[in-house]
């Protein structure tokens, strides 16, 4: 088999990603992300500009205590100021003080930016690039030169754009990254220009793209096909404006389909979990339609599609979901068919088959609940709980004996507050707690979890990541039924539950209870064998096929 060619990855989540709207990392967030990326096998982690703000200064001090097994930390900064000696440049001194093994330096490659943005001569800009790179090399750093706005510069003045690369090369740059800074180039343009550059420059060439035209991933892949060996981006694609190249997609395409090696092959199955962990730390809702690692990437709904996947997975799936840590999902819906339900039942009890009488009972229960307003397409956890109850493979962990919520808003307060009281019973023991929250559901969630953590400490890891409410029949106005959909996580897995009622609080509580029970049923607190068949929903005859 042909040996895989290595493609080096630089993740800029902590620098370029931090410039995305609604992104704000604490120092601890940044340290956590460094460890996630290192465990995945990312080669370089661009961690910020140590000369830009106190938070980054603190980060570079604290990160020295981390032991990284794979990744190199990269400090980011610009070339020296115009008409100033490199030794006197305060930002360059900050880069050295960060004590990272590698440094990424950006410089202007578009003549328009040189004369109109930083207001200097074309010759001085070349000196700034060469002298900065040489200064950092003399101080023992690996230097990555980021040629900012390179593709725009090349299209407007190719000779000068190339001169900036030659200046970095003369300074001793270890690699040169071509930046498609405004995200407007087409993949074929990127391929053509990178092909021309690699013929003229002796050091390794990288690519850094933005997604303003929706083509960052395609352009990154085309750059590699043209000879680039270094790809910059962010693991789940967020960043300034429309975001950066999504590295989870880029590396999956290259490693699974183009025979390149981007991360150690044994780490590829960690990809989805790593992406979700980055999402959690960043407080960003990951797009469920994201290629490879999205929740819906291998979700099948249509009955014919599901039948095809069951017979030959490759007929509707371009890769094996498990290769990137994802899983195949068959969605319950009016077009899914009985095969979908059988697959879900067999996850609970592999002995059940299509002809088993309990299958018809479960289908009847689902239809009745759908008539009441439930929807199981996006609530696999609630569906599993329903199946377990019908199979007698369920044990209630607790009972909510009573609850009460109260909301208030005082004059002059911008946000209303709420409180909740919950009393639960676990194995004959009662616990009553109260909690405050940003709203009645948040308060109820906090109070319920607080009451149960005494009995089940593992629930400390669980929290909500999404909460949706839909009015089912607006003609009934305030008496309308509502459907509440809740997504929960323990930091590793994600699951969704649903509740339906004319009372939004009651519907929310049903979904919350199902979410907690799902976690407990999949933890060490639950022993399926000890509870199996405790509840006799069906007779012994014809149980298994």
Decide: 6 and 19 in contact? Cβ < 8 Å: no
Task: Using alpha carbons, list the distances in angstroms from residue 71 to 156, 261, 263, 265, 267.
Answer: 36, 15, 11, 16, 14
Residue keyed to tokens 């808003």:
409
Neighbours of 455 (CB within 10 A): 16
Neighbours of 518 (CB within 10 A): 22
CA gap 244, 179 in Å, rounded: 11
Kindly compute the dihedral angle of the four CA atoms of residues 76, 80, 82, 88, in this order, to the nearest 10 degrees.
Answer: 140
pLDDT of residue 187: 96
Kindly compute the dihedral angle of the four CA atoms of residues 170, 171, 172, 174, in this order, to the nearest 10 degrees.
Answer: -100
CA gap 273, 12 in Å, rounded: 19
pLDDT of residue 296: 80
pLDDT of residue 305: 60
Which run of H or of E encompasses 8?
strand 8-11
Decide: 109 and 161 in contact? Cβ < 8 Å: yes
Domain residue spans in the chain? Answer: 5-282, 299-377, 399-530
Query: Would you give per-residue pLDDT tens digits along the chain (545 residues)?
Result: 568 899 999 999 999 999 888 888 889 899 999 999 999 999 999 998 887 677 788 899 899 999 999 999 999 999 999 999 999 999 999 999 999 999 999 999 999 999 999 999 999 999 999 999 999 999 999 999 999 999 999 999 999 999 999 999 999 999 999 999 999 999 999 999 999 999 999 999 999 999 999 999 999 999 999 999 999 999 999 999 999 999 999 999 999 999 999 999 999 999 998 998 898 888 887 888 999 998 888 777 765 666 666 667 767 778 888 899 887 766 665 444 566 677 778 888 878 877 788 887 887 887 788 778 887 766 888 888 888 888 887 888 999 999 998 877 665 566 667 899 999 999 889 999 999 888 888 899 999 999 999 899 999 988 888 888 888 765 655 567 888 988 888 877 888 899 999 888 999 999 999 999 999 988 865 544 433 333 333 333 333 34
3-state helix, strand, coil in the chain (%, to 5): 45, 20, 35
Residue keyed to tokens 């009016």:
334
CA 526 to chain centre: 29
What do you get for the CA distance between the two ends of the chain, in Å? 45
- The pTM (predicted TM-score) of the whole model is 0.73
Decide: 277 and 21 in contact? Cβ < 8 Å: no
Q: What SS3 class is residue 72?
A: strand
Task: Using alpha carbons, list the distances in angstroms from residue 359 to 115, 386, 455.
Answer: 74, 12, 34
CA 361 to chain centre: 38
pLDDT of residue 108: 96
Which run of H or of E encompasses 9?
strand 8-11
Residues counted in the chain: 545
pLDDT of residue 475: 60
Decide: 346 and 357 in contact? Cβ < 8 Å: no
CATH topology of domain 5-282: TIM Barrel (3.20.20)
CA atoms within 13 A on the CB side of 119: 0
CATH superfamily assigned to domain 399-530: Alpha-isopropylmalate synthase LeuA, regulatory domain (3.30.160.270)
């Amino acid at each position: 088999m042909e040996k895989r060619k290595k493609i080096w990855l630089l993740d800029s989540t902590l620098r370029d990603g931090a410039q995305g709207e609604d992104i704000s990392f604490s120092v601890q967030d940044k340290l956590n992300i460094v460890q996630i990326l290192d465990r995945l096998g990312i080669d370089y982690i661009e961690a910020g500009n140590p000369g830009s703000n106190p938070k980054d200064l603190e980060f570079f001090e604290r990160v020295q205590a981390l032991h990284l097994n794979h990744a190199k930390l990269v400090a980011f900064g610009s070339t020296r100021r115009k008409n100033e000696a490199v030794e006197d440049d305060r930002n360059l001194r900050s880069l050295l003080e960060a004590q990272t093994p590698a440094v990424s330096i950006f410089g202007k490659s578009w003549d328009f930016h040189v004369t109109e943005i930083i207001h200097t001569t074309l010759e001085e800009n070349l000196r700034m690039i060469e002298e900065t790179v040489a200064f950092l090399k003399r101080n023992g750093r690996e230097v990555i030169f980021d040629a900012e706005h390179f593709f725009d510069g090349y299209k407007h003045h190719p000779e000068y754009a190339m001169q900036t690369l030659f200046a970095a090369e003369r300074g001793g740059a270890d690699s040169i990254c071509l930046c498609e800074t405004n995200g407007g180039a087409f993949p074929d343009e990127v391929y053509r220009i990178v092909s021309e550059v690699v013929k003229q420059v002796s050091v390794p060439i990288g690519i850094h793209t933005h997604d303003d035209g929706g083509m960052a991933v395609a352009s990154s892949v085309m750059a590699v096909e043209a000879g680039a060996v270094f790809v910059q981006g962010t693991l789940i694609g967020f960043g300034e404006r429309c975001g950066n190249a999504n590295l989870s997609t880029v590396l999956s395409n290259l490693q699974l389909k183009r025979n390149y090696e981007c991360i150690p092959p044994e780490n590829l199955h960690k990809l989805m979990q790593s992406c979700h962990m980055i999402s959690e730390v960043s407080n960003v809702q990951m797009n469920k339609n994201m290629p490879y690692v999205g929740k819906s990437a291998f979700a099948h709904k249509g009955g014919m599609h599901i039948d095809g996947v069951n017979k030959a997975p490759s007929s509707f799936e371009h890769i094996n979901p498990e290769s990137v840590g994802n899983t195949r999902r068959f969605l319950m819906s009016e077009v899914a068919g009985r095969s979908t339900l059988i697959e879900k039942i067999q996850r609970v009890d592999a002995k059940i088959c299509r002809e088993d009488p309990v299958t018809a009972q479960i289908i009847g229960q689902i239809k009745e609940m759908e008539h009441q307003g439930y929807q199981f397409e996006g609530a696999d956890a609630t569906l599993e709980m329903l199946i377990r109850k019908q199979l007698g493979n369920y044990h209630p962990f607790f009972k909510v004996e009573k609850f009460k919520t109260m909301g208030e808003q005082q004059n002059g307060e911008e946000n209303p507050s709420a409180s909740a009281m919950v009393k639960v019973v676990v194995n004959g023991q009662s616990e009553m707690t109260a909690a405050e929250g940003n709203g009645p559901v948040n308060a109820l969630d906090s109070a319920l979890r607080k009451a149960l953590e005494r009995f089940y400490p593992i629930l400390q890891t669980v929290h909500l990541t999404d909460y949706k409410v839909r009015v089912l029949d607006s003609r009934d106005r305030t008496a309308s039924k509502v459907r509440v959909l809740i997504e929960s996580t323990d930091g590793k897995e994600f699951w969704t539950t649903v509740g339906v009622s004319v009372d939004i609080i009651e519907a929310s509580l049903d979904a919350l209870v199902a979410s907690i029970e799902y976690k407990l049923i999949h933890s060490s607190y639950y022993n399926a064998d000890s509870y199996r068949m405790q509840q006799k929903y069906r007779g012994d005859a014809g149980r298994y096929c």
